[in-house]
Amino acid sequence: MSVSNPNRVLGITTREFWHNISHPTDASLGKAILTILVFAESLVCIFWIFTLSGLGEGYALMAAVPYAYVILSYASLLIFYRTKKFEYFTFTQLVMLLVMPFFMQWAIGGYEASSGMAIWAILSPIGALMILGTKQSTPWFILFAFLAGLSWKLNYLFAGNSLPIPSHIKDTFFLMNIMGTACILYAVMRYFQSQKERTLHELELEQARSEKLLLNILPKSIASRLKDNDMRIADSHEAVTILFADIVDFTKMTATMPPAELVDLLSQLFSRFDHLADQYGLEKIKTIGDGYMVVGGAPVYLDDHANVIAQLALQMQEELELFNQQIGKQLQMRIGISSGPVVAGVIGTSKFAYDIWGDPVNMASRMEKNGLPGTIQVSECTYNLLKTQHTFESRGPIPIKGKGDVNTYFLKS
C-alpha cells in the first residue's frame, strides 16, 4: 500500500476506516479496538508534551517520554499498513501502552509527583484481554502488576531525584489520570460491548433463519428433539392415516410446458395444499415430482386422524377446481388414502428427512396409483373408520400389487 496519502495510511478520515470501526468483522475488531487505544493515548501524550515542555528546559526529559511514544507508535502503525503483520503491531503497541506510563511516572518523580500516572498502563492488559483473549492477556496483566510493585518499591528513588511540579499541574495530572483512563476504558468497553451485542443479535437472526429452515424440512416436535441431541429418532405410531395425491397425465405436461412455468404451477398448487395441511394440523411428509404425501397422527397423535385426512382430501379437490378456474386449465388428481400402524423417523445424516414406513403407506400409494382421475380412493381399513361420518361409493374388489384383490371405496363427501 502506498504511504503517499497520510489519511489513507493513518486510516482516520477514510470512509473505509469508519466503516470498519462501526461494522467490524472478527478480523478487524481487534484492529479497531487497538486503534482506539492508540489514538486516545496519543491525544493524552500530546497534552503531556505541551504541559511539561511549558515548565522549562529542565523538564525536557519528562516530555521526551510521551514524545517518543507518539513517534514510535505511529511508526509501528505505518509498518503495519505496509506489512499487514497485525501480530507485530499488536505486540509493539501493547508493550508501549504498558511501559510508557511507568517511564513517565519514574521521570516525573514517582507516584505523588505524577499523581499516579502509571494507572494508564492498565490499558495494556485490558487491550490484550479484548484483542488476544483471556489466556494470552494474563502475562500482560502479570507484567502490569510487576511494574506497579516495582514502582512502589523504588518510589523513594524516583521521588528523591524529581523536579518540582506545581500543585495545579499535579491536580491536572490527577484529574487526567482518573478521568482519562476511566473515559478511555469506558469508551473501549462500550464499543466492545456494542459489537458483542451486534454479533449476538446477528447470531440470533441466523439461528432464527436456521430454525425456520429446519422447520421447513422437519416437523416441529422432531426438530426440537434433534436440537436436544436426540440423534436417533424412530417412533412407532399405532394409528395414522396417509394420503397420496398426484396430478393426472403430469408426464405429458412436462413435455409441452416450459420448465419455469411447470415448476411455478406445481409451486402454486402445492403451496395451497401446504396451507390446508397446516390448517388441519397435519404433517406434509414430502413431494416427489407431482406427488404429494400427507400423514395424520404422526409425529403428533391425532385422535380423529382418518376424518381429518378425509376432510383434507375433499378440500384439496375443491382447491384444485378453484385453481383450474384461475389458470384456465383442467387439471385432475388421483387421491389415495389408507390407515394403520407405521414407523416414523429421521433417516440420513446429509440432506436428512422425516419419513414414515409401513403397510398403510404402501396401501395408500396403491390406492392413488390404481384410482380414477378426479376421485378419492380409500382402503377398507380407512372406510371402516369413516363409514358413519362420510358418504362412500363402493368400487368393489380391485387387484393390488402384493395384496391380490382388495375392496376399495370412493370418498364422495
How confident is the model over 17-22, as a mean pLDDT? 51
* Residue-wise burial string across 297-308, b where 16 or more C-beta atoms lie within 10 A, e elsewhere: bbbeebeebbbb
Asked if residue 96 has pLDDT above 90, the reply is: no
Using a 10 angstrom Cβ sphere, with 0-12 exposed, 13-18 middle and 19 or more buried, the burial of residue 66 is: buried
Coil, helix or strand at residue 411: strand
CA–CA dist 56, 179 (Å, integer): 26
With vertex at residue 164, the alpha carbon angle to CA 163 and CA 166, rounded to the nearest 5 degrees, is: 145
Task: Look at residues 349, 347, 340 and name the one whose alpha carbon lies nearest to residue 384.
Answer: 340
Indicate the pLDDT class of residue 87, thresholds 50, 70 and 90: confident
Q: Which of 2 and 124 is assigned the larger pLDDT?
A: 124
Q: What is the pLDDT of residues 36-71, one digit of tens each?
A: 788 888 888 888 888 887 787 777 778 888 888 888
Rounded to the nearest angstrom, the gap between the alpha carbon of residue 167 and the centroid of all alpha carbons in its chain is 56
DSSP 20-84: HHHS--HHHHHHHHHHHHHHHHHHHHHHHHHHHHTT-GGGHHHHHHHHHHHHHHHHHHHHHHHH-
State the first-to-last Cα distance of the chain, in angstroms, to the nearest integer: 77
CA–CA dist 218, 119 (Å, integer): 57
Q: What is the pLDDT of residues 384-397, one digit of tens each?
A: 999 999 999 999 89
How confident is the model over 124-151, as a mean pLDDT? 91
Residue 411: phi and psi, rounded to 5, are -80, 120
Coil, helix or strand at residue 342: strand
pLDDT of residue 337: 95
Q: What is the pLDDT of residues 261-319, one digit of tens each?
A: 889 999 999 999 999 999 999 999 888 888 999 999 988 888 999 999 999 999 999 99
Element (H, E) at 106: helix 86-108
pLDDT of residue 15: 52
Instruction: Please count the CA atoms within 13 angstroms of the CA of 196 that sit on its side-chain side.
Output: 9
Q: Which of 148 and 51 is assigned the larger pLDDT?
A: 148
In the chain, where are the structural domains located?
Answer: 6-211, 220-411
pLDDT of residue 19: 52
Asked if residue 380 has pLDDT above 60, the reply is: yes
The model carries a pTM of 0.58
CATH architecture classification, 220-411? 2-Layer Sandwich (3.30)
Evaluate whether 320 touches 331 at the Cβ level (below 8 Å).
yes
Task: Look at residues 243, 209, 265, 247 and name the one whose alpha carbon lies nearest to residue 333.
Answer: 247
Cα-only R_g, the chain: 38
Evaluate whether 48 touches 177 at the Cβ level (below 8 Å).
no
Rounded to the nearest angstrom, the gap between the alpha carbon of residue 68 and the centroid of all alpha carbons in its chain is 45
Cell of 272: 395451497
Task: Look at residues 68, 132, 74 and name the one whose alpha carbon lies nearest to residue 103.
Answer: 68
